[in-house]
Amino acid sequence: MPEVIIVGGGMVGLSLSLMLAKAKINVKLLEAIKYPTEHDQKLLEYHSRFDARNSALSRRSISIYQQLGLWTVLQQYATPILEVQITEQGSFGHATLRAQEEQVESFGQVIENAWLGRVLLKEVRQSEYIELIDGVEVTALTQNESSVCVTAVRAEQAMPFEAPLVIAADGRDSKCRQLLGVSASHHDYEQVALVTTVQTSKPHQQVGFERFSPLGPLALLPLPGDYRRSVVWPVKKGEQEQWLGEVNDDHFLAALQHAYGDRAGRFEKTAPRFCYPLSQVLADKQAIGRVVLMGNAAHTLHPVAGQGFNLCLRDADVLVRYLTTHLKNHEDIGTPSLLQAYEKARRKDQQRVIKFCDSVVKGFSNNHPVLKLARNVGLLAFDRIPGVKPLVANYAMGLKV
């Protein structure tokens, strides 16, 4: 019997399985999508799980990958963020965070999900402690006092699995969460994130921009190659079609130019744009008997501050620490009281990040003159009041949770 079953082989599920494998815990990893082979480079690079999006890895997340022995490889595809500039289009407020002033090597590093996923998947396939079973759909999940039974189907063939602990990392619309009867709160931001890569005439110099515009908050982050930058631009739902497709390349570049001015130089080229609906989904419970909800199945956040994936990795890191301690004491790692203790331990960090992301979205999506004045004054205060920047920077880097 495997010691853990993970449902969901996205980046959270892959990362978590490697953390467990490092602790010599056997894992069965179930994934609905059939992954390409490592030789099929084109499909693997832009597979739906390793798509056009990017992850801004906090220093805490980098530390986790260092402990897994993966950062030397991942570093080749990552770019450090040495400075962050926060501004609002057409307003006087601004703030700047500099890694040198905060006495850190960087605030984190940006990596394309395509590369991160490729490295993680390759490592999972090579691990003696992980069995990856892809192309299967979970159809049933039941529990008893000592184990959890999971039924998965592939090509109409039922495949039963059993383990003392199941971790459901199967995304925002988690089938496991539904099978467990766990409800979740949903808040639709009425936005769609446009995601792409652009080339600019000025080198990025490892500077990231957060620019609040009337169309939505834009993130422009540095990528490998001096002139490549990632764009995440939440726009109103229903307005995304005007930005998609090759025929709209010039229109999209002109809109970026208008929003950013000349800070990045000229926006010269753009890759295809992809879009993703934005909502906040929070599970009412994360520990249900011998099952733990993880990743977007537990909490799906707005990408405005780039904190979602980093929060998920911190969750995974803490859970693995709890499990390894129990294993050393020869105790049952699926004990409900243990999983409830994990959930309680993570509550403060999760609530802080959830509240921060939601507040930023709502605070900068309202163009009322009084609120606009208040947030610009707030940006200036943030930029100038001693002691505020180090506190915010440490939270963003995941160093104080």
pLDDT, one tens digit per residue, over 322-355 is 999 988 888 899 999 999 999 999 999 999 888 8
Beta bridge partners of 343: none
What pLDDT, on a 0 to 100 scale, did the predictor assign at position 103? Answer: 67
CA-CA distance, 360 to 33, in Å (whole number)? 34
Q: Is the pLDDT of residue 391 over 50?
A: no
Q: Spell out the domains of the chain, with CATH numbers in brackets.
A: 4-74+113-186+281-362 (3.50.50.60), 81-112+187-277 (3.30.9.10)
pLDDT recorded at residue 218: 80
Would you state the pLDDT for residue 92?
Answer: 46
pLDDT at 67: 96
Cβ neighbours of residue 249 closer than 8 Å, sequence gap 6 or more = 270
In this prediction, residues 135-157 reach a mean pLDDT of 94
pLDDT for 241: 87
pLDDT tens sequence across 24-41: 999 999 999 988 776 655
Least confident of 25-29, 152-156, 231-235: 231-235
pLDDT band, residue 4 (cuts 50/70/90): very high
**What's the rounded Cα separation, in Å, for the pair 309 and 193?**
16
Output the pLDDT for position 38. 62
**What is the average pLDDT across 216-238?**
86
Mean pLDDT of 395-401: 47
Structure tokens at 180: 């467990």
Residue 399: pLDDT band with limits 50, 70, 90:
very low
The 10 Å Cβ neighbour count of residue 387 is 6
Tell whether the model's pLDDT for residue 154 goes beyond 80.
yes
The number of C-alpha atoms within 13 Å of 69 and in the hemisphere containing its C-beta is 7
Q: Helices 336-363 and 308-328: crossing angle, nearest 10°?
A: 170
Q: What is the pLDDT of residue 43?
A: 45
Q: What is the pLDDT of residues 249-307, one digit of tens each?
A: 999 999 889 888 888 899 999 988 888 888 999 999 999 999 999 999 999 988 866 78
pLDDT for position 23 = 94
Spell out the residues 6+ positions from residue 121 whose beta carbon is closer than 8 angstroms to its own: 14, 35, 38, 44, 50
Instruction: Provide the percentage of residues in the chain whose pLDDT is more than 70.
Output: 81
- What does pLDDT average to over the chain? 84
Segment among 13-22, 39-48, 89-98 with least mean pLDDT: 39-48
What pLDDT is recorded for position 212?
Answer: 73
Q: Are 238 and 215 in contact (CB under 8 A)?
A: no
Find the range with the poorest average confidence among 85-89, 113-117, 375-379: 375-379
Q: Name the band, by pLDDT with cuts 50, 70 and 90, for residue 397.
A: very low
Q: With helix as H, strand as E and coil as C, how does the chain read?
A: CCCEEEECCCHHHHHHHHHHHHCCCCEEEEECCCCCCCCCHHHHHCCCCCCCCEEEEEHHHHHHHHHCCCHHHHHHHEEECCEEEEEECCCCCEEEEECCCCCCCCCEEEEEHHHHHHHHHHHHHHCCCEEEEECCEEEEEEECCCCEEEEEEECCEEEEEEECCEEECCCCCCHHHHHCCCCEEEEEEEEEEEEEEEEECCCCCCEEEEEEECCEEEEEEECCCCCEEEEEEEEECCCHHHHCCHHHHHHHHHHHHHHHCCCCCCEEEECCCEEEEEEEEEECCCEECCEEECHHHCEECCHHHCCHHHHHHHHHHHHHHHHHHHHHCCCCCCCHHHHHHHHHHHHHHHHHHHHHHHHHHHHCCCCCHHHHHHHHHHHHHHHHCCCHHHHHHHHHCCCCC
User: pLDDT-based confidence at 73, cuts 50/70/90?
Assistant: very high
Q: What is the pLDDT of residues 192-222, one digit of tens each?
A: 888 899 999 999 999 988 877 666 678 889 9
The two tokens of residue 141 are 């999940």
Per-residue pLDDT at 330:
86
Query: What is the reported pTM?
Result: 0.86
- d(C-alpha 120, C-alpha 65), whole Å: 10
Confidence at residue 340, expressed as pLDDT on a 0 to 100 scale: 97
Residues 6+ apart with CB under 8 A from 276: 53, 192, 193, 195
Exposure string over 340-359, b if 16+ CB within 10 A, otherwise e = bebbeebeebbeebbebbbe
Rounded Cα–Cα distance for residues 111 and 241 (Å): 27
